[in-house]
Amino acid sequence: MANFLSNSPDLHEVHSAGPLAVARASLSGDDRLDRIGTGRRKGMAIRAGAVMTQLVQPRLVNPPEGDPGVYVDFRFGRRAVLFDLGDLAPLTPRELLRVSHVFVSHAHMDHVAGFEPLLRLRLNRPRPLSVIGPAGFVRQTECRLGAFSWNLLDGASVDFRLTVAEFDGKRLSVAAEFRARDAFRRRDVPPVDLGEGIVLAEDDLAVEAVALDHGIPSLAFALQESLRVNVWRTGLEALGLPVGPWLDAAKTAIRAGAPDAHPIAITGHGEMPLGDLRDRVFHVEPGQRVVYVTDAADTAPNRAAIARLARGADHIFIEAAFAEADRDRARATAHLTARAAGEIARAAGARRVTGFHHSARYAGSGAVIPAELARAWDPRGAHVDPNGPSTSDGEPNWIRRWRRAGLSPEAALARFDSLPSVAFDELTGSWVGTGMPTGHPLDGLLERLGWQGKQFESAERVHPLIFRHNVALDPALLPLTVALRWPRLARSGPVRAGFHLVRRALRARGPAASLARVEFRGHLGAAMIYHRQPIVDHFRRIDAVCLLGLMQVPSMPPYFFLLTAGGSGSEFRRGIAGIAIRTPAADPNAGFATSEPCPGFTGRPVPSVTGPPGAPQFG
């Protein structure tokens, strides 16, 4: 086990996803940061995005007030990683079985309570698991394993291997292996030297770490893709190619700068040159950087260390344990306030920030913590209401007034135009929805019928209509024309009762929409394209937790709605895995984007943005 992080050969065998060899070179300082995230072939065209799939998808495991933890899924890579091991109940067994590495900040109970459930699930399966934690973590793991009786394990047991390493603030310093066949007795192994500040290095990604002061060392982590390589689903369909492990092998070759003649083996299709796939199937841009920071005192050294780690991050998950009014409590417990978290994210230039680890004292207090975090992160942003302060629950006053008194379509459009656009990855997750009144025929109708919000799994997998009990409905099956023409009839009691009776028959077979980059009213940003309806939803950012949406339908005034991240309902907290949809029928196109733009689409496509042949040219 000279190289405990590679878990080879098992990792390669389980993933079937191409080489994941650990980089041996010692990297440090600026050289490390320059080399991680490179690999672009000279002259390679970097193309702006259209409808595509993000391959690195991070999300909170629990609601912001729950146990800390972030699950990072790698689409098509057949793997995931975890940051921290708190309550893992929201994750399905299938999701947990994908985990190859766990990065633990420190051993307080709310950060490691999920260790035993994860171990129990993995015990009789051969896929190895690597866990990296702070100094002393190997001994702590040894003691936890020693608390169980392992007399039923012997040389014939499944050869599950748990490898644990310690990061001492500079580099990996201690490592040990615990094997089921050895009744989990500790066997020390030499830690691999990946260089200062590196705890994982592979062809496709690296994970960096720093030690922060929480009274004890608490580790913060940054996951860096070497290059971000996304997949054009429409490109695959145009070429008649299947989804499979070959996609991961191809993106690995692209990141390594392989030439166009490099052969890619595709199951059932033989080999194809990488050059034939590069421009038609893949979208390549600089690698994504995801940062995880929790349990840190608000000190100058901590702020500087986090800002260095999160410099230019695409997404930082950072604890926001207390409101600024409780700064003394935060100082006494060595935690960050929401304001401090926002200031650090701003100093780092983070593109997106998600706060979590909220103190239980704020339960039921609405958006106080997110609002403070948003104001500190972007003091000049649109979440600062020019007409007055926010309400006590963090909601801007202009939203409250709009809800109460309504707005004219012209005033609503002016407000919409004043807000910044939204990127694809800012939409990932569950959103609670509600209409914003402007005198539109749909005002209040969807809510009366049980609409709860929208869910975005990825750019290609969007559920635009989530109703009660997490049921995803197909917009193409809804009588939208009737509702628009006779809104009073649609709101009547008999119609509502009939709708609830037939709702199950209206379930979607799969995702009913996808995302595209569209220039609309002078802003280039993410838009939701409905698959079988001439409808486009556009989005603008209000603050860290709220979006303003505009639904565009031909020959109708715009319909406005508000989306709030996550939501408070238990159904939304269960997340995407709980969506109820119909099993796909014989229709081979069910759940996928059409190959032509929606009729009536009036957003201006971006001339310089082109997808592969057959892709919708929305931008």
pLDDT higher at 138 or 483: 138
Percentage of the chain with pLDDT > 90? 39
Whether residue 254 has pLDDT greater than 90: no
Spatial distance between the Cα atoms of 408 and 85, rounded to a whole number of angstroms: 49
Report the DSSP beta bridge partners of residue 132.
Answer: 103, 165
Strand-by-strand arrangement of the 186-189 sheet: 56-60, 70-74, 79-83, 99-103, 129-134, 161-167, 172-179, 186-189
> What does the pLDDT read at residue 418?
81
SS3 sequence of 209-265: EEEEECCCEEEEEEEEECEEEEECHHHHHHHCCCCCCHHHHHHHHHHCCCCCCCEEE
Residue 446 token pair:
């969807």
3-state secondary structure of 274: helix
> What does the pLDDT read at residue 52?
33
Whether residue 104 has pLDDT greater than 60: yes
**Mean pLDDT (whole number) for 586-597:** 32
Spatial distance between the Cα atoms of 457 and 479, rounded to a whole number of angstroms: 26
> What does the pLDDT read at residue 301?
96
Residue 211 token pair:
């030690």
Cβ 300 vs Cβ 41: under 8 Å = no
**Mean pLDDT (whole number) for 249-278:** 88
pLDDT tier at 615, thresholds 50, 70, 90: very low
Q: Which residues contact 228 (CB under 8 A, 6 or more apart)?
A: 54, 55, 56, 284, 285, 286, 287, 288
Q: What is the pLDDT of residues 39-78, one digit of tens each?
A: 333 222 222 233 333 567 888 898 888 999 999 988 666 8
Cβ 374 vs Cβ 337: under 8 Å = no
Cβ 590 vs Cβ 509: under 8 Å = yes
Spatial distance between the Cα atoms of 527 and 514, rounded to a whole number of angstroms: 8
pLDDT higher at 277 or 36: 277
pLDDT higher at 466 or 587: 466
Whether residue 234 has pLDDT greater than 70: yes
> What does the pLDDT read at residue 7?
35
CA distances from 556 to 435, 474, 534, 574, 586 (A): 16, 21, 11, 35, 34
Tell the burial category of 289 from Cβ atoms under 10 Å away from its Cβ (0-12, 13-18, 19+): buried
> What does the pLDDT read at residue 533?
83
Cβ 602 vs Cβ 534: under 8 Å = no
**Mean pLDDT (whole number) for 354-360:** 91
pLDDT tier at 29, thresholds 50, 70, 90: very low
Spatial distance between the Cα atoms of 242 and 249, rounded to a whole number of angstroms: 14
Phi, psi of 114 (to 5 degrees): -85, 5
Whether residue 305 has pLDDT greater than 90: yes
Q: For residue 337, what is the DSSP state?
A: B
> What does the pLDDT read at residue 493?
66
Q: In whole numbers, what is the pLDDT of the chain averaged over residues?
A: 77
- The 10 Å Cβ neighbour count of residue 395 is 22
Spatial distance between the Cα atoms of 356 and 62, rounded to a whole number of angstroms: 9
> What does the pLDDT read at residue 16?
24
> What does the pLDDT read at residue 387?
34
Q: What is the pLDDT of residues 9-28, one digit of tens each?
A: 222 222 222 222 222 222 33
> What does the pLDDT read at residue 110?
95
Q: Crossing angle, helix 115-122 and helix 137-145, to 10 degrees?
A: 60
Whether residue 577 has pLDDT greater than 50: no
Q: What is the pLDDT of residues 395-450, one digit of tens each?
A: 567 888 898 888 888 788 888 888 888 888 889 888 999 999 988 888 888 887 78
- The 10 Å Cβ neighbour count of residue 71 is 23
3-state secondary structure of 571: helix
pLDDT higher at 168 or 576: 168
> What does the pLDDT read at residue 85?
95
pLDDT tier at 304, thresholds 50, 70, 90: very high
Weakest mean pLDDT among 4-8, 486-490, 494-498, 564-568: 4-8
Residue given tokens 């979590």 in the structure block: 356
pLDDT higher at 588 or 260: 260
CA distances from 404 to 80, 145, 428 (A): 44, 58, 29
Whether residue 613 has pLDDT greater than 70: no
**Mean pLDDT (whole number) for 142-164:** 93
CA distances from 148 to 152, 195, 607 (A): 11, 36, 63
Whether residue 3 has pLDDT greater than 70: no
CATH 3.60.15 fits 10-227, yes or no: yes
- The 10 Å Cβ neighbour count of residue 602 is 10
Residue 59 token pair:
């999300």
Spatial distance between the Cα atoms of 205 and 202, rounded to a whole number of angstroms: 5
Weakest mean pLDDT among 132-146, 191-205, 232-246: 232-246
> What does the pLDDT read at residue 383?
38
Residue given tokens 């939701």 in the structure block: 528
Whether residue 614 has pLDDT greater than 60: no
> What does the pLDDT read at residue 520?
87
Residue 563 token pair:
């989306």
The dihedral built from the CA positions of residue 391, 351, 309 and 163, taken in this order, carries a sign that is positive
Q: Which helix (H) or strand (E) holds 433?
A: strand 429-436
Spatial distance between the Cα atoms of 532 and 534, rounded to a whole number of angstroms: 7
pLDDT tier at 563, thresholds 50, 70, 90: very high
3-state secondary structure of 27: coil
Residue 68 token pair:
């800390």
**Mean pLDDT (whole number) for 84-111:** 94
> What does the pLDDT read at residue 445?
81
**Mean pLDDT (whole number) for 518-546:** 87
CA angle 83–100–59, rounded 5-degree value = 40
pLDDT higher at 510 or 218: 218
pLDDT higher at 358 or 36: 358
> How many residues does the structure list for the chain?
619
Residue 491 token pair:
């709101």
- The 10 Å Cβ neighbour count of residue 443 is 18
Residue 58 token pair:
């991070």
Residue 426 token pair:
């800012």
Q: Which helix (H) or strand (E) holds 301?
A: helix 300-309
pLDDT higher at 216 or 267: 216
Whether residue 298 has pLDDT greater than 90: yes
Q: What is the fold, at CATH topology level, of the domain defined by 398-578? A: Lipocalin (2.40.128)
Of the candidates 495, 465, 479, the one whose C-alpha atom is nearest the C-alpha of residue 580 is 465
Domain boundaries, the chain: 10-227, 296-377, 398-578
Residue 476 token pair:
């193409």
